[in-house]
Amino acid sequence: MRFHILGLPHTATNKEFCACAYTQKVLKFGKMMSGRGHEIIHYVHEDSDLICDEHVTVLTNDDWRKSYGDHNFKEKFFKFSNDDYAYQTFFKNTIEEINKRKQKNDFILPFWGYGVKPICDAHSDLIIVEPGIGYNPESSFARFRVFESYALLHSYKTMHERHDWYDVVIPNYFDLDEFEYKEEKEDYFLFLGRVYEGKGIHIVNQLAEKLGFKLKVAGQMPDKIDFAPNVEFVGYADIETRKKLMSGARAAFVPSLYTEPFGGVQIECLLSGTPTITTDWGAFTENNIEGVTGYRCRTFGDFVNAVNNIDKINPADCRREGLKFSLEAIAPKYEKYFQDVLNVYTGNGWYQL
């Protein structure tokens, strides 16, 4: 199969942008599917670095600087707009470059969903699949849609009573080379992600202050937070820093206040053999197995009990569950789905045997 995969105009598809889950999905998809013999053509920034058959530069560093200048994404959240120069340049150049390369029954994969819809609109003759909806499903537009969790799929279907046999759930996928499994832990807890209230950082800070445990906080933090004295803010964590932080922690907090569509950090910690303490909604109800990989919480008392009982969780059980999300485990799910979709165009569709 042939895939035209669209990167994100406000990032480059490389590991430096590890704070962007969608950029990393593009990066890992290249490795996952190229390794299984599929043809990957990738479109985005010149500094991208992924495994593919052809990388097509549609944005240069000069283009990028015209929109984002000296914006420091390692401290602040990502800056972007569909109307900015980088996005408009990306749309124009990608539309032209795909036109030079496309063949009948090629797939086009908008990993950033509605954010790159103009390119899909210009190539509606291709098979458009939204390959990992973790954004607001209200903005999804393709007939063929892959959701990252049943929590997100069900919430959307409940609101809209929309039925399509080709709405599917395939979870996010992870490169095992980026994680280190450790059974022996150091004496600290971890919060890794966007450091703001929506991710529940204020809850974790209150827990650290109440219980006195050492807490390390890593990620983009655009606004100053007054942390408890036993909290260490380590800043933006690159791939190697993330690997060490996750594998060494006694447990990681992922207490998102919104309905988490997937919550990749939670799985990354499991791959490191590290239990997770999460809220009790969204994708966590599927991926954080109560009393096995960690604990799900609804009250402050629940969080306190989780901290006090975290050593009952076996790191080997966490690793075992995390392996269900490896590139090797998820690739066949995508292949089957893409073949089912291709059958709509080349075979008997839903009735294909």
What is the distance between the alpha carbons of residues 108 and 111, in angstroms, rounded to a whole number?
9
Q: What pLDDT is stored for residue 161 in this prediction?
A: 72
Q: Residues in the chain, how many?
A: 353
- CATH fourth-level superfamily of 176-325: Glycogen Phosphorylase B; (3.40.50.2000)
Hey, is 40 helix, strand or coil?
strand
pTM of the predicted model, to two decimals?
0.95
Q: pLDDT in tens for each of the 353 residues of the chain?
A: 999 999 999 999 999 999 999 999 999 999 999 999 999 999 999 999 999 999 999 999 999 999 999 889 888 889 999 999 999 999 999 999 999 999 999 999 999 999 999 999 999 999 999 999 999 888 999 999 999 999 999 988 888 777 789 999 999 999 999 999 999 999 999 999 999 999 999 999 999 999 999 999 999 998 899 999 999 999 999 999 999 999 999 999 999 999 999 999 999 999 999 999 999 999 999 999 999 999 999 999 999 999 999 999 999 999 999 999 999 999 999 999 999 999 999 999 999 98
What is the distance between the alpha carbons of residues 112 and 140, in angstroms, rounded to a whole number?
10
Domain residue ranges of the chain, discontinuous segments joined by +:
2-173+326-351, 176-325
Q: What pLDDT is stored for residue 133 in this prediction?
A: 96
Letter string b/e over residues 291-312, b meaning 16 or more CB atoms within 10 A of that residue's CB? eebbbbbeeeeebeebbeebee
DSSP 151-185: HHHHHHHHHH----TTEEE----B-GGG----SS-
Question: Residues near 117 by Cβ (< 8 Å), separated by ≥ 6?
Answer: 110, 141
Q: What pLDDT is stored for residue 166 in this prediction?
A: 96
Q: What pLDDT is stored for residue 158 in this prediction?
A: 82
Cα–Cα–Cα angle for 167, 171, 175, nearest 5°?
145
Q: What pLDDT is stored for residue 77 in this prediction?
A: 87
Q: What pLDDT is stored for residue 157 in this prediction?
A: 84
Residue type, 181: Y
What is the distance between the alpha carbons of residues 11 and 34, in angstroms, rounded to a whole number?
22
Residue type, 343: N
Q: Same CATH topology for 2-173+326-351 and 176-325?
A: yes
* Architecture in CATH for domain 2-173+326-351: 3-Layer(aba) Sandwich (3.40)
Q: What pLDDT is stored for residue 184 in this prediction?
A: 96
Q: What pLDDT is stored for residue 222 in this prediction?
A: 86
